Structure 1
Amino acid sequence: MSHRKLLNTFMTLLLWSSITTMVILLLSIIAFIFVNGVQALSWEFITEPPRENMTRGGISTPLIGTLQLVVVSMFFALPVGIATGLYLSEYSKKNKFTFLIRLAIRSLAGVPSVVFGLFGLSLFVILLGFGSSLLSAGLTLGCLALPLIVTASEQAFQAVPKDFREASYALGATKWQTIRKVVFPAASSTIITGAILSIGRVAGETAPIIFTGAAYFTPNVAQSLFDEVMALPYHIMVLATEGTDITLTRPIQYGTVLVLLALVLGMSAVGVMMRARLRQRGQ
């Protein structure tokens, strides 16, 4: 066997072993969480609020609070992120200004989430006067999701073949009509992929909301954008580090983790189905 075939076989085995290891680790984590958390699951656990210093009751308040945070953050991040990606792909020119915008976006993607929390504290909570609230936390999480959405949107628009645009122009369409009727529908499935990834990150973040709107405990769901809100990631942290009896709350911890994992996977599954349907329409 030649040196090239040996190298090819070795690299193939290396890649397959890496994939197998990753899948085994992922399944092991999911199985561990499921085995330890399924005993806490019940209809009451999902629908009742926490009580007795969070050692009894359920997780309805932090569950709804997490959904509220996702909605507020995406309501801000998706329009801004998609519009920015559209500008960079379709309207911007290659100059220093555009280079600095792209550099800033790439740099923001690597900033630790706790820095976004401090930024949200300074801007939304203090400077703009929103206080510790659902609005402040949602906008902070929206800023956290922006780099991923902008990058995914820009790449989605750039991936649309130029022939599509030229055919539209040849039929007399304007640039905006071409973008709205041709480019955006063709890029929508990839944009949804970026949105799915950003939703998963937003739903599981703890550090940004600690500074901006997460409540240690509140019996009621946020009724307005200016109310504090409980969230599943922060609730898990509280149960694991500040509970009065950690051994007593351990089943609740794993049950909450399992619900959060199912929530993220469920959102991802909905996004995947939407993406598949959009691709079928585009074919």
Structure 2
Amino acid sequence: MIIDLSGKRAIVTGSTAGIGLAIAQGLVQAGAEVVVTGRTALAVDRAIAAIHAAWPAAQVRGVAADLATPDGAQTLIAAYPEADILVNNLGIYEAKPLLELDDADWERFFQVNVLSAARLSRHYASGMKERGWGRLQFVSSESAINIPTEMVHYGVSKAALQALSRGYAKELAGTGVTANAILPGPTATENVHAFLAPLAAERGISVEEMSARFVAEKRPSSLLGRFASPQEVAHLAVYVASEQASATTGAALRVEGGIVETPF
């Protein structure tokens, strides 16, 4: 299968590192013009430089803005009012006991993980519908189904994002615009490395060994038995963005290594 996204503009939120950067790289490889976004100009410039280092002819742009806020979203929209592909990847996570979560924690997670995607999708989906082609993606998580006890607020926000994706798919049915959720499992990103580092230090082991123990202890149903790479997640996102994925919509597409026990 040859995926050709030439002539398509893709916006990937939260794409200066990790899964978002891997998705941006994959879309560039497929020929799309990609808009990289992050909160600081330094991070955006570094991501663009990394992409250009690997693909000198890449059409890659950048916007520095806090997309969890209305003003940040408007900054992106003003710079690039139209897109053919929108990957809502922006998200945060943290471990915190459920009974210690306060209103501010819940508000913060919904602003970043849910409302950012709702706000941007509202704008870009309208143009996609008018043009008769588009791809909306919402990067959720296996935690939306397999709610983790150590970060319930994260799982709840990702479940809401998955529901939002399904709602957009229904609203846009028959228009040529698809909407799908991508559900990664534990993925070896820079942020995850930083998350595991203090846990590894407590046990006096390497981060690599801590990664293996995390999967064994926290995700024992994993069939993959390891963290996925960001590129493994990106491969699915690039396919879902393609013309070939025209019959895939309203789906929760899992790339989580078989952690979730249910077949649906």
Question: Which one has a bigger Cα radius of gyration?
Answer: 1
Verify same fold: TM over 0.5: no
Tell me the TM-score normalized by structure 2.
0.29
Report the structure, 1 or 2, having the larger helix content.
1
Report the structure, 1 or 2, having the larger strand content.
2
Tell me the TM-score normalized by structure 1.
0.28
